Chains A and B, each alone.
Chain A
């Protein structure tokens, strides 16, 4: 029986070994492709989320910043209301005592 390469192995055994090597190489190649594909998906998912949040923030629609802004707006509005009611009472006081100057508020 003719043997090539490794001594003591028949041709069919050598063929089976070569086939096994090819199959293993194909599996490794396939695994590598899957890893690359998953890495690409992960990077794309991250970039998509990053871009969405970035645009959302740039448009002024960010939920956290909006909540902060509305909180600040309501705080400044209530402050302004307090100050204006204070100025009204001081205006009443002004009639009797001209030394008190009216309060003016400026909202930034």
Chain B
């Protein structure tokens, strides 16, 4: 009886689980990326780079599962345009669009790593910072539209990954401000 009830929602459960996993993996990826770029840990850059790349690819895979499994769910009745094109879905349009834009940004900026030689390293680094926006959009999408957004286990498990990553981002921003302030030429007295 219970099995039948959950079996009818199997695509929906898959999508929800993949969405939460994607948010956790993206947060971990952001945390590792910031740790690497801010040099919070020294001498482990090759390991951190591999970890960051693997987490980003895992996030993309989870995002693909999150979006595509919704196509199988008969209840919500999403089509391919609804899960890939911003503003195409009538279901909570703003939150859905936030998730779609965040996912596309994450995928495009993530995959741009493999074209960084062509893009130019300095330009790619500037572009790559926009991944933070994609991550924030993902958090907004999860909290605004997520079915489990108000449930304690969701808040605890996602918070355990999001909050440290957010702390690292803030520390990185504070460090970069201090460094840029220190690198400013001193004011000369007349």
Taking Cβ atoms with an 8 Å cutoff, the residues of A that contact B are 27, 30-31, 34-35, 38-39, 41-42, 45-47, 49-50, 52-54, 56-58, 62-64
Contacts and interface: CB of A to CB of B under 8 A. Distances in A.
A72 to B, nearest CB: 14
17 contacts: A35-B54, A39-B54, A41-B58, A42-B55, A42-B58, A45-B25, A47-B17, A49-B18, A49-B21, A53-B16, A58-B2, A58-B5, A58-B6, A62-B147, A63-B147, A63-B148, A64-B147
A53 B25 contact: no
A63 B3 CA distance: 18
A53 B148 contact: yes
B5 A45 contact: no
B58 A54 contact: no
Binding site of A, secondary structure by majority: helix, strand, loop or mixed? helix
A16 B16 CA distance: 52
A53 B35 CA distance: 32
Identify whether the interface residues of B are mostly helix, strand, loop, or mixed.
helix
B13 A57 contact: yes
Contacts of A56: 151
B54 A34 contact: yes
Contacts of B139: none
Interface in B1-39: 2-3, 5-6, 9, 13-14, 16-18, 20-21, 24-25
A42 B55 CA distance: 8
A42 B24 CA distance: 9
